[in-house]
Structure 1
Amino acid sequence: MPTARRGAAACVAPSGLIYVVGGNDQRHVEAYDRATNQWIKKGDTLMQRCQLGCASVNGKMYAVGGTGSIGSNSDCHKSIEVYDEDADRWALHECRLLQARSAFGCAVMKVKAYEDSY
């Protein structure tokens, strides 16, 4: 990986690229392309995010919570950033966490809908 870091988050984007977001008091984003075995510099997040959560849902990637610097819980974020892979651009999502969070993971589940048989 071109930029060594800790406190970053990673997820697989809809394109299949593996994104590494934030960490080490940074806004850097890099993506790994398994087909070419190369790292690609991507658009920076709007805020420094360490110890954040990251997930890909319905064609968009989300950087959730985190802190502005490693080892600090006083500057935890409630904000969520959403990434448009085609535009290579992050934007603030209108939704915010109810409580600032850091040092957590994100998971995505697809739940099959069913009809109740009452």
Structure 2
Amino acid sequence: MTQSTTTPAGTYRLVTVNTAPDRAKRLIGRVVEDVKDTYTIIHAGNSATIEDVQKTVEDAQPDVLFTASMWTPEESQKIIAIAKGIVPNLRTFSLPQGLQVDKGPDAVVEYIKEHLPSLLA
């Protein structure tokens, strides 16, 4: 097998929707570092409330939006609907409710990394 010196596939602007912005930045920072050889991901913003999603998405114009595990599936659907109303072809990803509380930050990072290839394909 030959060693590849390919550049990362595209640059993706990511917005997170997380009531703990510092934690979101920390966890996404870990993901970005771990996948930097494959993807260039820029954490373009965080919305701490559902009410702020519209402004955050309008300002950041992201390619990808993640909803954190503190949101219920219904809240995540509402967030995604708001965001896609602004950026129709937005790629979205919702962490399972309770993942951070039940399994901790390492599980969140691994879950995102596991699902990132299919999300960005």
The TM-score with structure 1 as length reference comes to 0.24
| Greater Rg over alpha carbons, structure | 1
TM-score between both structures, scaled by the size of structure 2: 0.24
- Which structure: greater strand fraction? 1
